[in-house]
Amino acid sequence: AQSVTQLDSHVSVSEGTPVLLRCNYSSSYSPSLFWYVQHPNKGLQLLLKYTSAATLVKGINGFEAEFKKSETSFHLTKPSAHMSDAAEYFCVVLYNQGGKLIFGQGTELSVKP
């Protein structure tokens, strides 16, 4: 079955330190992968997406993600966390066969001063 797993339900970092949010997906030919952020009581905002071009994808607000096919992973990183990064982050995979859009469970990022 097609699935997306976010390995951490909650991540806590200090301001100015690196962020790593992990995402693994079940293997499929040419999936498209996305990271979205959701601030409290807000809708989803697209951070970045991978669609079979460069494996290192740069997004907004200094976030990056690397597509690793051999590991079926798409981890999200940021070199230096900011207080405004505190939010819920979702890894989403679009399986092109059958048009299925699947969410990970979400990772809540807390940023301490």
Q: Give the footprint of other proteins on this chain (CB under 8 A).
A: 32, 34, 36, 41, 43-44, 46, 49, 51-52, 90, 92, 94, 96, 98-103, 105-106
φ, ψ dihedrals at 69, nearest 5°: -65, -40
Q: DSSP secondary structure string, 33-61? A: EEEEEE-TT---EEEEEESSS-SEEE-GG
Of 16 and 46, the one with the shorter C-beta distance to other proteins is 46
In whole angstroms, how close is the CB of 101 to other proteins at the nearest point? Answer: 5
Of 81 and 89, the one with the shorter C-beta distance to other proteins is 89
φ, ψ dihedrals at 10, nearest 5°: -145, 135
